[in-house]
Amino acid sequence: MKRISFIVFFLLLIITILYYFTNNNNIKTNTTSSENIEVYYPSYNITKLDNYIDSFVEEIIKLHKQEYNGAKLYLDYDIDVDNKNIHTTFYTYIENENILKTNITKITYNKINKEIIKDNEILVTSNNYDFINNRIIDKDKKLVALTFDDGPSYNTMKIVDILKKYNSTATFFVVGQKVDKYKNTIKYLSDNNMEIANHTYTHKLLSKLDETSILKEIKDTQEAIYKITNTYPTLFRPSYGTVSSKLKRISPMPIIIWNLDTLDWKHHNSKKIANKILSNVSDGDIILMHDTYTASRNAVEIVIPKLKEQGYEIVSVSELFYYKNVVPINGKYYGYIK
């Protein structure tokens, strides 16, 4: 009998603790919204923490009204609770003319000593972060654009996966006549925010073609890509990178060449390709590779972490134009963007 009452007591104790525990974690989301503001923040039923968060949110809204008049403000949060701490990471997005500025602030409440720590570390540098094409870019870093010619190929999606792994993107200059065969790859490029650009339809030497045929090479490729992605590419690279005065005169798009050639087609040696990049790269460079070779893919895997160590963000050519404040002009040719 004594044993049973002990078990009953014990069970009741557990139920009480569980009830208290779940009730105590019944986190409520508060909302403030107006035309320009959409704000979500939690309250925990812990007066000290809730007051702290309330005044944090008030401060953000006040600051936004003072400094970013007209821009949109979004604030929401991510909660992580463990035995000792409640971590609330706030994400503040300020949107102005298609640019999102992101601030990240972590507020940690220690359940044992009831202290609050606000982590400003990320906030300090985050003023220079941009949110673009689903990636966060540090605008203080050097920029480099990797470009891949002559695809799509069996290799292309694998390169995309490597780029994604490192929060990076690239520009793929595709050959129009391959587009239909690699529909899924084109879709994969576009779904993963890679830039698809025009590299002629048949990869003929353009200097041997008349004006009408050159324009047809460009237009047919534009249409083939549009059919799959619903978007027209905005950049053109002539086959073999040959630019004539005729091409400059008639090109309906900016002409993108490169200033760092990996010669991957010649070497098929991933270490050599990677070394060529790492010992020559500088801010604003456009690097030529081919997504048609496995050695090039392996070189990407070597080179991206090292470029990041050297302080580079890996961007598309269009992003390079954007961050270097250069407006691309049709018919003009660019080997780098500084």
- What amino acid positions are annotated as catalytic residues? 149, 290
Query: Within positions 211 to 250, which residues make up the interface with Zn ion, using CB under 5 A?
Result: 239
Round the CA-based radius of gyration of the chain to a whole number and report it: 27
Q: Is 291 in the site for Zn ion (CB under 5 A)?
A: no
Amino acid in the structure at residue 171:
T
Contact between 149 and Zn ion per CB under 5 A: yes
Query: Residue 264 interacts with Zn ion (CB under 5 A)?
Result: no
The least distance separating Zn ion from the CB of residue 200, rounded to whole angstroms, comes to 8
In the complex, least distance from residue 267 CB atom to Zn ion, rounded to whole angstroms: 17
Does residue 150 interact with Zn ion by CB under 5 A? yes
The C-alpha atoms of residue 306 and residue 302 are separated, in whole angstroms, by 7
Among 18-26, 94-102, 141-149, 176-184, the segment contacting Zn ion (CB under 5 A): 141-149
Our CB check for Zn ion shows the closer of 149 and 313 to be 149
Number of residues that bind Zn ion (CB under 5 A): 3
* DSSP symbol at 262: -
Q: Residue with structure tokens 């982590």?
A: 119
Q: Which is nearer to Zn ion, 130 or 149 (CB)?
A: 149
- Which span sits near Zn ion by CB under 5 A: 85-93, 144-152, 205-213, 275-283? 144-152
155: CB partners within 8 A, 6+ apart: 291, 292, 293, 294, 296, 297
Residues within window 56-75 making contact with Zn ion, judged by CB under 5 A: none
Which residue's Cβ lies closest to Zn ion? 149
Calpha distance 12→320 (Å, rounded): 64
92 φ/ψ angles, rounded to the nearest 5 degrees: -110, 120
Q: Both tokens of residue 269?
A: 């040696």
Q: Which is nearer to Zn ion, 137 or 189 (CB)?
A: 189
Task: Report the nearest approach of Zn ion to the CB of residue 201 (Å).
Answer: 12
- We find the least distance from the C-beta atom of residue 199 to Zn ion, in angstroms, to be 6
- Count CA atoms within 13 Å of residue 266 on its CB side: 7
Q: Assess 313 for contact with Zn ion (CB under 5 A).
A: no
293: alpha, beta or left, given left = phi > 0 and alpha = psi -120 to 50? beta
Residue closer to Zn ion by CB (options 150, 195) is: 150
Least gap, CB of 301 to Zn ion (angstroms): 22
Closest CA to 170 of 322, 337, 313: 313
Instruction: Tell me which DSSP letter residue 103 carries.
Output: E
- Comparing CB distances to Zn ion, the nearer of 150 and 264 is 150
By C-beta, is 103 or 222 nearer to Zn ion? 222
How many angstroms separate the CA atoms of 171 and 186, rounded?
Answer: 12
We find the least distance from the C-beta atom of residue 203 to Zn ion, in angstroms, to be: 6
Sign of CA dihedral 324, 329, 330, 333: negative
Please give the residue ranges that form the binding site for Zn ion (CB under 5 A): 149-150, 239
